[in-house]
């Protein structure tokens, strides 16, 4: 009985540790709602730390393909994210009118993009550290290719 | 292993497990609670200089655009953009339009000249004034042609203009200009007012607009 309890405790502890490690960088949150017939509704919560880990399993040919498409944007994105991390929370862009509201801001080390329009709502929250990790990996693979 | 040891071990593990379980929740809570706290953030680190752009439209839609950019961020990001005429933080001027004008000499002349008005045009259509005052180049245009007047005022520190033209004959050094701008105090750079829009570009140490 004691042995079983120890095994369960060990398994539980491992799961909790794995969960805590996976969630250490927070989550990437994507919510998209299109209010029209056939419009998509995407609601996604992904542990941020899982993305750079998952990228290790992307085949080289896909890396090359992706790197070709984003080669020009990568250094800019990398520079922006690296710099953004140095600043306190701030609203960088805010566009308002009677119907639409767009906001790009940083909050707690994350970039948050909100679009509220009559025909769609988009909310994206992503840790800056994750974007930086991804851009670094893409640049490395791009230069390797 | 005695019962007491097992109990102690189990209790310790339980506490450690609870802490581990709660720590990611804390991270999640931060992500949702942060917006409230970020609204309170009004002033960035004193060394940070922020460039603000605000456009307010007075039409029926009542559109407003607010952009806040840290100058240091712009300084670091601009050299990473290499597209069309923009390379390494410098933008090429079309030489076809600049062959007859030596901009650097012009800037040099303005810099060394004493404060005063260089251009004054007054007509029924518009008033134009270009002047140098307290090491700032001031351009003021009042358009009277339309029933609803429009007014443009640009005020640029001479050091910024110097830096802008420091690259070469047919190039503008944007990064150098931003660097020079960051050394300036709080100032309004551009103000445009007409019957449809109000545009303001200004510099300060706050990371939010008014």
With residues binned 3-state (H G I as helix, E B as strand, rest as coil), the percentages for chain A, rounded to 5, are 45, 30, 25
* Structure-token pair, residue B91: 């933008």
| CB-nearest partner of A20 from B1, B20, B73 | B20
Pairing state of beta strands B116-122 and A41-47?
unpaired
Which residue did the predictor score with more confidence, A102 or A38?
Answer: A102
- Residue A11's alpha-carbon distances to A7, A77, B194, in angstroms, are 6, 40, 69
Which residue did the predictor score with more confidence, B104 or B100?
Answer: B104
For B120-132, how does the pLDDT look when each residue is reduced to its tens digit (9 = 90+)?
Answer: 999 888 899 999 9
B73 vs A98: CB contact, 8 Å cut-off?
Answer: no
**Interface pTM (ipTM) of the complex?**
0.78
Instruction: Report percent pLDDT > 90 for chain A.
Output: 34
A108 vs B34: CB contact, 8 Å cut-off?
Answer: yes
Average pLDDT over residues A126-130: 91
pTM given for the model: 0.75
B66 vs A125: CB contact, 8 Å cut-off?
Answer: no
Check pLDDT > 70 for residue B17. no
Mean pLDDT of chain B: 79
A83 vs B76: CB contact, 8 Å cut-off?
Answer: yes
Query: So what's the pLDDT on residue B36?
Result: 40
The reply to whether B16 touches chain A by the CB within 8 Å rule is yes
Residues of A in contact with B40 (CB under 8 A): none
Nearest chain A residue to B76 by CA: give it: A79
| CB-nearest partner of A88 from B72, B82, B207 | B207
* Structure-token pair, residue A3: 């042995």
Q: Where are the domains of chain A?
A: 25-144
**CA angle (B114 as vertex; B111, B116 as ends), nearest 5:** 105
B17 backbone dihedrals φ, ψ, rounded to 5°: -65, -45
Residues of B in contact with A5 (CB under 8 A): 10
Tell me the residues of chain B between 92 and 111 that have a Cβ less than 8 Å away from chain A: none
Instruction: Report percent pLDDT > 70 for chain B.
Output: 74
Binned at pLDDT 50, 70 and 90, residue B142 comes out as very high
The reply to whether B18 touches chain A by the CB within 8 Å rule is no
Check pLDDT > 60 for residue B5. no
A110 vs B34: CB contact, 8 Å cut-off?
Answer: yes
- The answer to whether the beta carbons of residues B82 and B91 sit under 8 Å apart is no
Half-sphere exposure of residue A137: CA atoms within 13 angstroms, side-chain side: 17
For B32-58, how does the pLDDT look when each residue is reduced to its tens digit (9 = 90+)?
Answer: 444 444 444 445 545 789 999 999 998
B64 vs A88: CB contact, 8 Å cut-off?
Answer: no
Check pLDDT > 60 for residue A95. yes
Tell me the residues of chain B between 55 and 84 that have a Cβ less than 8 Å away from chain A: 57, 60-70, 72-73, 76-77, 80-83
For B54-102, how does the pLDDT look when each residue is reduced to its tens digit (9 = 90+)?
Answer: 999 988 778 999 999 999 999 999 998 888 888 889 998 876 566 677 7
A90 vs B23: CB contact, 8 Å cut-off?
Answer: no
| CB-nearest partner of A88 from B17, B41, B65 | B41
State which of A48-52, A103-107, B22-26 shows the largest mean pLDDT.
Answer: A103-107
Residues near B13 by beta carbon (within 8 Å), at least 6 away in sequence = A9, A13
Query: So what's the pLDDT on residue B20?
Result: 43
B68 vs A92: CB contact, 8 Å cut-off?
Answer: yes
Check pLDDT > 60 for residue B2. no
Query: So what's the pLDDT on residue A121?
Result: 95
Query: So what's the pLDDT on residue B70?
Result: 93
Q: Where are the domains of chain B?
A: 1-40, 49-204
Residues of A in contact with B21 (CB under 8 A): 16, 19-20
Query: So what's the pLDDT on residue B101?
Result: 72
Strand extents, DSSP E, chain A: 27-34, 41-47, 90-96, 101-107, 110-116, 120-127
Tell me the residues of chain A between 73 and 112 that have a Cβ less than 8 Å away from chain B: 75-76, 78-80, 82-84, 86-99, 105-108, 110, 112
Nearest chain B residue to A124 by CA: give it: B31
For A62-71, how does the pLDDT look when each residue is reduced to its tens digit (9 = 90+)?
Answer: 877 887 778 7
Check pLDDT > 70 for residue B16. no
Residues of A in contact with B27 (CB under 8 A): 23-26
B24 vs A20: CB contact, 8 Å cut-off?
Answer: yes
Return the number of CB contacts < 8 Å for A and B: 123
């Amino acid at each position: 009985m004691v042995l079983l309890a120890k095994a369960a405790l060990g398994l539980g502890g491992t799961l909790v540790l794995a969960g805590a490690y996976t969630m250490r960088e927070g989550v990437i949150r994507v919510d998209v709602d299109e209010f029209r017939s056939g419009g998509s509704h995407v609601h996604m919560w992904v542990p941020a730390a899982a993305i750079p880990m998952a990228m290790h399993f992307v085949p080289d040919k896909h890396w090359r393909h992706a790197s070709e498409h984003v080669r020009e944007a990568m250094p800019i994105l990398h520079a922006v994210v690296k710099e953004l991390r140095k600043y306190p929370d701030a609203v960088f862009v805010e566009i308002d009118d009677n119907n639409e509201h767009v906001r790009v801001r940083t909050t707690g080390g994350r970039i948050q993009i909100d679009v509220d329009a009559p025909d769609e709502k988009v909310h994206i929250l992503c840790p800056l550290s994750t974007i930086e990790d991804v851009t670094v990996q893409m640049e490395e693979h791009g230069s390797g290719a | 292993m005695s019962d007491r040891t097992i109990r102690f071990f189990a209790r310790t593990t339980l506490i450690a497990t609870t802490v581990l379980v709660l720590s990611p929740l804390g991270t999640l809570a931060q992500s949702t609670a942060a917006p409230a706290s970020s609204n309170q953030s009004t002033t960035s680190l004193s060394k940070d200089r922020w460039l603000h752009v605000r456009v307010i439209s007075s039409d029926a839609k009542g559109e407003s655009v607010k952009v806040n950019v840290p100058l240091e961020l712009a300084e670091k990001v601009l050299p990473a953009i290499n597209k069309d005429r923009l390379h390494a933080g410098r933008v090429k001027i079309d030489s076809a339009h600049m062959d007859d004008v030596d901009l650097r000499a012009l800037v040099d002349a303005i810099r060394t000249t004493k404060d005063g008005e260089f251009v004054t045009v007054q007509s029924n259509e518009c008033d134009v004034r270009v002047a140098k005052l307290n090491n700032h180049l001031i351009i003021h245009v009042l358009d009277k042609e339309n029933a609803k007047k429009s007014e443009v005022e640009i005020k640029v520190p001479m050091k910024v203009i110097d830096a802008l033209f420091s690259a070469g004959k047919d190039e503008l050094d944007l990064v150098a200009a931003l660097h020079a701008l960051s050394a300036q105090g709080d100032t309004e750079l551009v103000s445009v007012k007409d019957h449809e829009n109000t545009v303001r570009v200004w510099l300060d140490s706050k990371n939010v607009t008014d």
